[in-house]
Amino acid sequence: MDTATLLLLGLLLVASVGLKQLVDIKRASRASASGVYVRRYWQIADDIHRAGSDPLEIRADPRYLQLLEDELAVAAIDLLDEQQWATWHGVLDEEPARTRVLDALQVCDPRTVAFSRLRRCLDQRQRDGARHDISRCAGA
């Protein structure tokens, strides 16, 4: 092998190692972001349980609405695993859950100033049907 071939192989090896490190970093970032949201969800759920409220009331808690809003923002920058994002996004596929979130939005933000990503997602669901492709979600 000549010097140019060895140099090219060396550069290819360095590039491959660098690419693997980038993939690992992105995977770790996604896992970290997911962990943060799971902990936030359970903190809200635990608080509601300790207060003696119905667990379904989580959707009426402004912290839960903010959690949904933040999940949409993080999904928009591709920081959530696709399968996990599909599961989390699917929470709003069913009518009772969607209705509770819409009711909570009316109570928590009657002037419709906040939760713009969540509102865009819900508007799209109203317009196009309850279930929509997460890759085309208007909120993410």
The percent of residues above 90 in pLDDT, for the chain, comes to 17
- What confidence tens digit (pLDDT) does each residue in 26-38 have? 777 777 777 888 8
Tell me the average pLDDT across 84-98.
Answer: 87
The percent of residues above 70 in pLDDT, for the chain, comes to 91
- Check whether 24 has a pLDDT greater than 70: no
Asked if 93 and 131 touch (Cβ cutoff 8 Å), the reply is yes
- What confidence tens digit (pLDDT) does each residue in 51-67 have? 887 766 776 788 989 99
- What is the rounded radius of gyration, in angstroms, for the C-alpha atoms of the chain? 21
Q: What is the DSSP string of the chain?
A: --HHHHHHHHHHHHHHHHHHHHHHHHHHHHHHHHHHHHHHHHHHHHHHHHTT--GGGGGGSHHHHHHHHHHHHHHHTT-S-HHHHHHHHGGGSSHHHHHHHHHHHHHH-TT--S-HHHHHHHHHHHHH-S---GGG-TT-
